[in-house]
Amino acid sequence: MAEKLIGDLVKGGGLQHFWLPKGSPQIPRIERAEGMYVWDQAGRSYMDCTSGPVVVNVGHANPRVLAAMREQAEKVCYAYPSGFENEANTELSNLLTDQAGEGFDRAFFVSSGSEAMEKCLEFARLHALAVGQGDRYKLISRHPSYHGSTLGAMGLNGDSLNTAMTPMLRPSIKIPAPLSYRYPDGFDRDSYALHCAQCLDQAIQQAGPETVLAYIMEPVMGLTGGAQYAPDFYYTMVREICDRHGVLLIYDEVISGAGRTGRFMASHWWPTGRPDLMTFAKGIGGGYYPLGGFLAPDHMVEEVVRAGGFHLGHTYKASPLGCAVGLAVLQELIDQDLMHRARVEGQYLRDRLNVLKSSLVILGDVRGIGQLNAIELVADQTSKTRFPATLDVQGELKKLGMAEGLLIYARRSSGGEFGDWLMMTPPLIATRNDIDVLVERLEKVLRAFQDKLTARGFLV
């Protein structure tokens, strides 16, 4: 068992020996990356249609980001924020809060999405204490959902992925997420979203409204829901429910922020559902530096400061090098008008995928917003039949993708309960021509997969 989990740590030979089971096939070694493409040691190129796991929003090897990194590194890479302010941190905070809009006046920086979630929850709890609501500590989140892999964030996750950790977690109260494809029998997309919003109200009432601290949700679902999102009224409803009970509404925008959905934050699509706090990571550092954090309004920060302050940081919080990278990434996002491009080319991508759907029986659903998209694969379009876990859809597609020069990010959550899908999340720099190349390669991959399934009798 230990060997299977840890792999050949002793003999070593590379990172993969630490985390892949013994005997796993070798994966290529990366040599370099630029724009939409990465190259392996053997000189083969692959189009990155996932942006890494939805990180490289401004593409690989962006000259402005690399220059900013070098310039900052030559000045100062690290300074602990209790000893020094740093210019990169101030400039990034100003630009970020400016883009985030009214009510998001202060930014706190850490080094990952999981840390961002942890700090945001700790801040929420300190704020409850600061305003005399110390009985509030319970958290409500959704099933399915993903919020990170630290123990606190894992407690929020609505996914059976890490059941080994369950005894060590403090699980949040779970309510159903408003799925747009696999809603239960008797519902359609709207009626299920209405039901899910009502579940929030019921969950708060059952827990005791004065004990509930926050409701945490991904405004557009990431890795456990593959780009599904709710009808507009859901966002307004959950805002009203939270207000009625004095519960904070927290949006996890780790995957959906930084322009990914075609607006700076996904919450900008739903102004009447505006959250109290929101987290960010992934696209803010753009893959050039591990950067995450959360945004809060002035009044909440002031209330916490008056009550003693927020001292729950990490060693690398607000690092000058990290902030300089984040600043260059955001400037690039704005100056290149990449949010607009994400909206236009994201729609074009979905249009082309929908055309494919009519000729590929395994393509069950095309969905998303901006460049946060997914396609769901099924054994039968009408019944939405899922593939059995024994089929290893993810492994098969990854292999076929590599052969066609396409990096594929296939996902299934909760043991396949919510289906199998591929994230379609190219860098926001993707042009019309890039999308055409992507779809061309993807079509070959999906046809090869469909032929294999037909030959093996897997299609309904």
Ligand X SMILES: Cc1ncc(COP(=O)(O)O)c(C=O)c1O
Q: CB 153 → ligand X: shortest distance, Å?
A: 7
185 close to 110: Cβ distance less than 8 angstroms: no
Q: Does 284 bind ligand X (CB under 6 A)?
A: no
For residue 66, the tally of other CB atoms under 10 A from its CB is 13
Q: Which of residues 320-359 bind ligand X (CB under 6 A)?
A: none
Per-residue contact flags (x/-) with ligand X for residues 107 to 146, judged by CB under 6 A? -----xxx--x----------------------------x
Half-sphere exposure of 281 (CA within 13 A, CB side): 25
Among 265, 281, 333, 423, binds ligand X (CB under 6 A): 281
Rounded to a whole number of angstroms, the distance between the first and last alpha carbons of the chain is 36
Taking alpha carbons only, the member of 227, 282, 238, 166 closest to residue 418 is 227
Among 148, 283, 346, 427, binds ligand X (CB under 6 A): 148
**Nearest CB to ligand X, comparing residues 108 and 146:** 146
Q: Which of residues 211-250 bind ligand X (CB under 6 A)?
A: 218, 222-223
DSSP state of 289: S
**Nearest CB to ligand X, comparing residues 280 and 449:** 280
Q: Does 280 bind ligand X (CB under 6 A)?
A: no
Residues facing residue 292 across a β-bridge: 110
Cα–Cα distance measured from residue 255 to residue 55, given in angstroms and rounded to the nearest whole number? 8
Cα–Cα distance measured from residue 101 to residue 297, given in angstroms and rounded to the nearest whole number? 10
Cα–Cα distance measured from residue 438 to residue 375, given in angstroms and rounded to the nearest whole number? 13
Question: Helices 232-245 and 189-207 sit at what angle, rounded to 10 degrees?
Answer: 10
**Nearest CB to ligand X, comparing residues 38 and 55:** 55
Q: Which of residues 288-307 bind ligand X (CB under 6 A)?
A: 292
Cα–Cα distance measured from residue 155 to residue 147, given in angstroms and rounded to the nearest whole number? 9
Site size toward ligand X, by CB under 6 A: 15
Q: CB 218 → ligand X: shortest distance, Å?
A: 5
Longest dimension (CA), the chain: 68
Q: CB 142 → ligand X: shortest distance, Å?
A: 11
Cα–Cα distance measured from residue 254 to residue 256, given in angstroms and rounded to the nearest whole number? 6
Q: CB 283 → ligand X: shortest distance, Å?
A: 11
Q: Which residue is nearest to ligand X (CB)?
A: 113
**Nearest CB to ligand X, comparing residues 148 and 427:** 148
**Nearest CB to ligand X, comparing residues 156 and 406:** 156
Cα–Cα distance measured from residue 252 to residue 257, given in angstroms and rounded to the nearest whole number? 9
- Alpha-carbon distances, residue 221 vs 104, 136, 217, 244, 296 (angstroms): 22, 26, 8, 25, 22
Q: Does 147 bind ligand X (CB under 6 A)?
A: yes
Q: CB 284 → ligand X: shortest distance, Å?
A: 10
Q: Which amino acid is at 340?
A: H
Q: CB 259 → ligand X: shortest distance, Å?
A: 15
- Give the DSSP H or E segment for 197: helix 189-207
Among 47, 49, 254, 327, binds ligand X (CB under 6 A): 254
CA dihedral over 178, 183, 189, 191, signed as positive or negative = negative
What is the 3-class SS of 332-346, one letter each residue? HHHHCCHHHHHHHHH
Q: Does 86 bind ligand X (CB under 6 A)?
A: no
Among 252, 345, 376, 443, binds ligand X (CB under 6 A): 252
**Nearest CB to ligand X, comparing residues 269 and 387:** 269
In the complex, which residues of this chain contact ligand X (CB under 6 A)? Answer: 112-114, 117, 146-148, 218, 222-223, 252, 254-255, 281, 292
